[in-house]
Amino acid sequence: MRPIAERCRTLLVAGILLLAHFSPAAATEPFSVRGIALGLLLADFKIAPAPDRNRFPDAAPACSDDHPATALSSAAQEALRLGEAEAKAGLVRCAYLRPENGTLVPAGLMVAGALTQAGFVFAPDPKGDLRLAAVWAEGSSADYDRVKMALTKRYGLPQTVIRGYAHDAAGAKLIDETLRWTNSVSQIEIDQRLETQDVNRMAIEYRHEGLANEADKHLKAAGAGEADLL
């Protein structure tokens, strides 16, 4: 699914977590971004107003299973594009788009105080309902400390901290950090630098463990490689 990072998950635990999330007795709620909770139904996402309407007043959700009357820019097409395996697995990609010069272009999304470009991936739950499995947002590495501080203030210290280095085009050595917050049903991960693509960009990922792992099972069955999993 992701063009940037590779992760592997445990399917058995995923099924247990997914059932727990949809049980009325479940005590732990999945993480949410801007009030958009992991596990949200696709139908509810589509009718909810877009965040940041003060910045992007004409922004609205658009998804890969829609047929918008307005033409999509190349960037908007890329934001909604499904790979062959993703389509076979029944995934749906969504983003917030806004009109500009007769086409629809991606609208920004503020995440933990940083302006990002965000995408939403919906996957079938065991009943076949499409629910929000993952949110992937990219922004400037210059905003990393702002995001780190905001998430730490809200969720406490991260459970996982990985520190290393990346190098820019000139060979300069840059600090690179990855942090992860987890609860029993979901996780948030921030990567300070996308070292294989652009060291000046950071990534923020919200992931529903049960839904994402269920999607990975279907992606593998559809022939997806490790780099294409959620």
- For residue range 43-59, what is the model confidence (pLDDT) as tens digits? 999 999 999 999 999 99
What is d(CA 225, CA 37) in angstroms, rounded to the nearest whole number? 28
pLDDT at 27: 58
Q: Tell me what the mean pLDDT of segment 185-213 comes to.
A: 95
The per-residue pLDDT of the chain, averaged, comes to 87
Distance, in Å, from the CA atom of 18 to the CA atom of 83, rounded to the nearest integer, reads: 25
Tell me: pLDDT of 66 over 70.
Answer: yes
pLDDT digits (tens, 9 = 90+) for 3-24: 433 333 333 333 333 434 444 4
Token pair for residue 36? 């958009």
pTM value is 0.85
- Report domain extents, the chain: 11-222
> Residue 104, class by beta-carbon neighbours within 10 Å (0-12 exposed, 13-18 middle, 19+ buried)?
buried
Provide mean pLDDT across the span 208-224.
91
